[in-house]
Amino acid sequence: MPSDQSTWLIAYPQDGDAEGLFEELSPKLAQQSKANVAASFPIPTFKTGTLDGLISLSEDLPKQENFFTATVAKTVDTLRNLLNNDPSKLNQHVLVNEEPVDGYILKGWKWNEGRYGVQRGLRDIVDALNKEMTSIDAAMKAKLANYNLVKGSLVQMQRKKTGNLSVRSLADVVSKEDFVQDSEYLETVLVAVPKSSVKDWSSKYERLSSMVVPRSSKSIASDDEYTLFAVVIFRRVHDEFIQKCRENKFIVRDFVYSEEEMAKQHEELETADTTEKELWTELLRLSRTNFSESIQILVHLKVVRLFVESVLRYGLPANYTGLAVKPDSKSAKRTFGALQTQFSYLRPRSNRAKGGKGGNDEFVGEYQTLMEQEFFDFVLCEVGWIVY
């Protein structure tokens, strides 16, 4: 049974047995669940080509479908991450030509003849679809990588402004008045002291090394874990003082006051923030556009597969029509049962042995033993509900 989390695309021969089938089937599906949605789904008449070509396509198309579906899913994931997993916002962007995916598939779907003319060979059409999806995938990867690089840099800069006083940037904590300026012999050292060790610091700092300026310790800032002190020492004992601080578990912050450097950091943060917002907007716009494009490409590939499998299943003439069904997940099993019953008239055709009406039935019979392991009595492809 197909997944109850997908829309089912069904193909069947457009012959005398199929006349009025949709009108007859619609109320039966509604009986299973009022939430079931069904619509006619036209399948173009393509050039069939050779049997070998059809079999080759039949083997290749599932791989292409997996790639196409994965590309659509990655685009949805990108949109979801950009929109902070907000379902209501996501629904505003996962649109096809400005309408929901259900509307695109279930409300008058048509083959895009302008882009994929049916006069072309099936392999050419599949190659064109694959080329477009590969281009979308490459563009998304490049834009996403660029955005993640800038965002990562911004997050790293912002992280420096958070955390406790032992790790965070001190540019917005200290001021010029906290430092000894333009002294050849003296310097100001910043030390983050654990709250539990503040008294210990006050009693020890003057004796941690020689040449510490007495009573020069000054509390600059405090948080839940640390108090930041500024202390004045002679430059010549810098290394010794730092070593003694480490031994006493006082954390010396490597910080040199520079208005130019602080202005530069502030400017870099603003630039990174602005760039991230611009790239976010560009990526959102690209993802929205590419979602619309990739869904259409995926559905067109599904239609090609419906046609190929129909020719291999039912033979010629290659005149098929289709049905799109969005099942209610709660009654999907009953809905599928109703479809099996409705299309039971196809069963003798699908199980027909060799030597029937002619060569077409003969190759159908030869290929059927392989197909029965994977297909139902009617040809069916699924469009997964990637958005949900």
Residue 387: pLDDT band (50, 70, 90) is low
In 3D space, the residue among 306, 314, 301 whose CA is nearest the CA of residue 368 turns out to be 314
| pLDDT more than 90, % of the chain | 65
Which tokens in the block code for residue 87? 């379902």
- pLDDT of 381 > 50? The answer is yes
Which tokens in the block code for residue 143? 């834009």
Confidence (pTM): 0.78
**Per-residue model confidence as pLDDT tens digits over 70-84:** 999 999 999 999 999
Q: Which residue has the higher pLDDT, 34 or 190?
A: 190
- CATH of region 6-130+294-384: 1.20.1460
**Per-residue model confidence as pLDDT tens digits over 139-156:** 999 999 999 999 999 998
pLDDT of residue 358: 40
Residue 4: pLDDT band (50, 70, 90) is confident
pLDDT of residue 26: 86
**Strands across the sheet containing 186-194:** 218-222, 226-234, 186-194, 251-253
- pLDDT of 354 > 80? The answer is no
- CATH of region 176-256: 3.30.70.100
Q: How far apart, in Å, are the Cα atoms of 282 and each of 96, 119, 148, 197, 289?
A: 18, 37, 13, 50, 11
Least confident of 16-20, 167-171, 282-286, 360-364: 360-364
Task: Compute φ and ψ for 382, nearest 5 degrees.
Answer: -110, 140
**Per-residue model confidence as pLDDT tens digits over 313-337:** 888 888 898 999 999 888 889 999 9
Q: Could you state, in order of their start, the residue ranges of all structural domains in the chain?
A: 6-130+294-384, 176-256
- pLDDT of 365 > 60? The answer is no
* Range 155-170 average pLDDT: 86
pLDDT of residue 348: 59
In 3D space, the residue among 342, 301, 263, 269 whose CA is nearest the CA of residue 67 turns out to be 301
Name the average pLDDT for the chain: 88
- The residue count of the chain comes to 388
In degrees, rounded to 5, the angle at the alpha carbon of residue 126 between the alpha carbons of residues 120 and 131 is 110
Query: Do the first three CATH levels of 6-130+294-384 and 176-256 match, i.e. the same topology?
Result: no
Which of 31-40, 50-59, 345-354 has the largest mean confidence?
50-59
How far, in Å, CA of 372 to CA of 141, rounded?
38
